[in-house]
């Protein structure tokens, strides 16, 4: 082959290699661009899945014990968490890993133009509960009680037959639903419903122990037409917060549409101070039924 032909052949090979590398580079850039776009548009629920290990680290810190604007019907208004949410830090971290659609089933607070607030009390009935009810009746204060169903009897279930009081289920025995499968969750809720029916109590509302949210729980609540009720202000009475600290925790975080979490064992002197201070700030303490007339104002991460 003449030298000129050899040179031409060599040049063609170089051109082919260069073109091949250019095409390969373009394909790689397109792939990386598509990958970036996919991640950017990933739904919130998918983005938080990989954080599920956070729950394991955070749960032990939840020491709870007792021994968001076009509004469609039933659609929550969403806002970025921070403003007007006073949650226990461990619980707030836990909620970050929960898919948005599950959180959206629950009321944390509502979007109300009026200065209204709900006071809620967990873990009764207890021997201490009648004294709490006496204070609420004396001050004409509506309240909502979330009941541990294994504590209900024919006698104490009558305590809630009062127009001031609303009530709901709070599991059978304060089990953490994150450790239960679907069948176990259903059994626990069905046991509660049976006890409510036996004691002539209407079953409308449900608050899970520790505020734990699972898919199995939401599925069961939907099938039983139970509203999920949580809170946006944790008084931290369960964490031994009392006196000025307890009063400050509630009052400094108060906002229209708030749901405040207490327990039946809250110090009554502190509670009376809180009720009086709420009224002095021109807030009205209302029933849960009245609060739920407004749309949800829910957490979003």
Question: How many CB atoms are closer than 10 A to CB 17?
Answer: 10
Query: Do residue 105 and residue 214 come from a single domain?
Result: yes
Same-domain check for residues 128 and 233 = yes
Query: Within a domain: residue 48?
Result: no
Domain assignment present for residue 166? The answer is yes
Is 116 within a domain?
yes
Q: Is 203 found in the same domain as 110? A: yes
Instruction: Identify the pLDDT of residue 13.
Output: 60
Are 178 and 258 within one domain? yes
**Does residue 202 sit in the same domain as residue 283?**
yes
Structural domain count of the chain:
2
pLDDT band, residue 26 (cuts 50/70/90) = confident
Q: pTM score, two decimals?
A: 0.75
Bridge partners of residue 78, in order along the sequence: 298
Answer yes or no: is pLDDT of 40 > 90: no
Establish if 92 belongs to a structural domain: yes
Higher pLDDT, 41 or 203: 203
Q: What is the pLDDT of residues 144-175, one digit of tens each?
A: 999 999 999 999 999 999 999 999 999 999 99
Residue 99 lies in a domain: yes
| Residues 158, 30 share a domain | no
Q: Which of 11-25, 58-72, 92-106, 195-209 has the lowest mean pLDDT?
A: 58-72
Task: Give the CATH number, domain containing residue 196.
Answer: 3.20.20.370
What per-residue confidence (pLDDT) applies to 14? 59
Among positive and negative, which fits the CA dihedral 297, 147, 241, 287? positive
Residues 101 and 152 in one domain: yes
């Amino acid at each position: 082959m003449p030298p000129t032909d050899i040179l031409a052949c060599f040049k063609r090979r170089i051109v082919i290699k260069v073109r091949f590398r250019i095409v390969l580079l373009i394909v790689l850039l397109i792939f990386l661009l598509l990958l970036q776009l996919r991640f950017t548009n990933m739904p919130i629920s998918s983005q938080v899945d990989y954080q599920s290990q956070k729950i394991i680290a955070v749960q032990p810190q939840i020491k709870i014990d007792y021994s968001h604007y076009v509004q469609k019907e039933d659609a929550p208004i969403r806002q970025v968490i921070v403003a007007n949410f006073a949650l226990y830090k461990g619980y707030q971290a836990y909620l970050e890993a929960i898919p948005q659609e599950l959180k959206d089933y629950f009321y944390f607070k509502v979007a109300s133009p009026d200065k209204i607030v709900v006071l809620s009390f967990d873990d009764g009935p207890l021997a201490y509960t009648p004294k709490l009810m006496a204070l609420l009746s004396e001050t004409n204060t509506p309240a909502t009680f979330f009941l541990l169903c294994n504590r209900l009897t024919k006698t104490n279930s009558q305590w809630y037959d009062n127009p001031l009081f609303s009530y709901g289920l709070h599991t059978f025995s304060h089990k953490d639903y994150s450790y239960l499968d679907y069948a176990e969750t259903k059994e626990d809720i069905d046991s509660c419903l049976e006890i409510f029916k036996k004691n002539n109590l209407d079953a409308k509302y449900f608050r899970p122990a520790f505020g734990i949210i699972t898919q199995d729980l939401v599925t069961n609540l939907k099938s039983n037409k139970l509203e999920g009720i949580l809170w946006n202000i944790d008084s931290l009475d369960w964490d031994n917060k009392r006196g000025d600290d307890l009063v400050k925790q509630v009052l400094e975080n108060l906002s229209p549409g708030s749901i405040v979490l207490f327990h039946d064992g809250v110090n009554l002197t502190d509670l009376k101070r809180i009720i009086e201070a709420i009224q002095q700030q021109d807030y009205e303490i209302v029933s849960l039924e009245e609060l739920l007339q407004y749309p949800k104002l829910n957490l979003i991460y």
